[in-house]
Amino acid sequence: MVKYAIVFGGVSFEHEISIVSAIALKDVLKYELDFIFIDTNRDFYHIDVKDMKSKYFSSGDYKKADKLNLKQGGFYKKAFMGEKKVEFDIVINLVHGGDGEDGKLAGIFEFFGVKFIGPRVEASVFSFNKLYTKLYAKEVGVKVVDYEVLRDRETSLKMDFPVIIKPSRLGSSIGVSIVRSKEELEYALDVAYEFDNEIVVEPFIEGVKEYNLAGGFGKDFIFSIVEEPQKSEFLDFEKKYMDFSRTEQVLKADIDESLKLKMQEEFKKIYANLFKGAIIRCDFFVIDGEVYLNEINPIPGSYANYLFEDFNKVVDEVSSNLPRARVINIEYSYINSIVKAKGK
């Protein structure tokens, strides 16, 4: 049986959400698990499963746990005779926001030869930045709603009100505001610029239908049910925060089969080869019968386990078909030929 290690925490505005997600997965995944916490100093700690409680981290008690070093092939801790490797087969990257979703951890894991479930570097780049997500979606033939980009107050808003304002590189609806008039704009921008110097602005469409679809790729595409999230105007931080702790499957959206299949086809275009090795969630709008991509969640809260009938099977299938690093043989033939030529 495959043994998994869950890596969580990280330096991000979503640090606490990552902890909540990890605690939720402790009860969902039916395996022997290792837990590796990244604190705000980016130090790694090996957390005992019995200590996987939110207060253990908020109180700083986690510092009593064994510190780890990441080296070629995996994580190591100090032992009586040198070092001891933490024995696991595959890491599950559960670090939301910066560090986990922006490509830092993906690059480190690839560099040190650690097998992992999660977005690779290029996938992280395109999904972490909302502007890049839109450019990518359009490139693969998936519709997105109109948008503008504001940077450091250098540009003024051209779009008509009402609009929705989003920091470009942040998730969980942090810093997001609905603006209905010019008088509300200044404050909303102040809030958004607290988190990012690049802001994406979209038209706010009253009563738009929104649906969530998660999935991955093993032998073939694996899809979750389609969920219609319950919301007032948009899913704010508090509602999304609660979602990160969900472990029970939610109800399917009341939609016809043709719309579900249309979302699955758009999901395939987004996932393609770019997200191979990851379990992602796509959030879609449906406007006049057409499907539009809202956002890509490359590491969704609790890995969207609550959308799958058998989440453990999904994890196993994705882990059995991870991207393989290309083997490059370095033989120094070029340098040796130069040396040989100079020696004549």
Q: What is the pLDDT of residue 241?
A: 47
Contact 151, 190 (CB under 8 A): no
Does residue 152 form part of some domain? yes
- Nearest-10 Cα torsion for 70, 76, 77, 80: -140
Q: DSSP string spanning 164-226?
A: EEEETT--TTTT-EEE-SHHHHHHHHHHHHTT-SEEEEEE--TT-EEEEEEEEESSSEEEEEE
Instruction: Classify residue 265: in a domain, yes or no.
Output: yes
Beta 209-217 vs 116-117: how paired, if at all? unpaired
309 in the same domain as 212:
yes
Return the CATH number at 182: 3.30.1490.20
Co-location of 185 and 217 in the same domain: no
- Same domain (yes/no): 16, 160: no
- Domain assignment present for residue 174? The answer is yes
**Residues 234, 173: contact at Cβ < 8 Å?**
yes
Residue 154 confidence (pLDDT): 67
In this prediction, residue 343 carries a pLDDT of 66
Number of structural domains (the chain) is 3
Tell me the residue length of the chain.
344
83, 55: one domain: yes
Ramachandran angles phi, psi of 200, nearest 5°? -100, 130
Among residues 180, 203, 226, the one where a domain terminates is: 203
State whether 76 and 9 are in the same domain: yes
Domain extent at residue 92 = 4-117
What is the model's pLDDT at position 344?
Answer: 56
Q: What is the pLDDT of residue 216?
A: 98
Tell me if 338 is assigned to some domain: no
Q: Give me the pLDDT at residue 89, please.
A: 97
In the prediction, which pLDDT does 243 show?
55
- 87 and 22 both lie in a single domain: yes
* Domain boundary pick from 66, 100, 117: 117
* Residues 129, 178 within the same domain: no
Residue 325 lies in a domain: no
- What pLDDT is stored for residue 234 in this prediction? 53
> What is the CATH number for 291?
3.30.470.20
User: From the CA atom positions of the chain, what is the Rg in Å?
Assistant: 22
Q: State how far the Cα of 32 lies from the Cα of 179, in Å rounded to an integer.
A: 47
pLDDT confidence of residue 40: 96
Predicted local distance difference test score (pLDDT) of residue 93: 98
| Same domain for 222 and 186 | no
Q: Are residues 135 and 154 in the same domain?
A: no
The CATH number of whichever domain residue 34 belongs to comes to 3.40.50.20
* In a shared domain, residues 135 and 222: yes
Q: How far apart are CA 52 and CA 66, in angstroms?
A: 14
Q: Are residues 176 and 268 both part of a single domain?
A: no
Distance CA(161)–CA(211), nearest Å, equals 24
**For residue 84, what are the β-bridge partners?**
77
pTM for the predicted model, two decimal places: 0.90
Residue 256's SS3 state is: coil
Query: Which positions of the chain have pLDDT values less than 70?
Result: 154-155, 171-172, 231-248, 343-344
| CA-based nearest residue to 286, from 176, 205, 215, 232 | 205
**C-alpha closest to that of 255 among 206, 301, 212, 205:** 212
Residue 310 lies in a domain: yes
In a domain, 330, yes or no: no
Same domain? For 135 and 220 the reply is yes
At residue 173, the pLDDT reads 72
In a domain, 33, yes or no: yes
- Express each pLDDT in 213-250 by its tens digit: 999 999 999 999 999 987 655 544 455 445 555 666 78
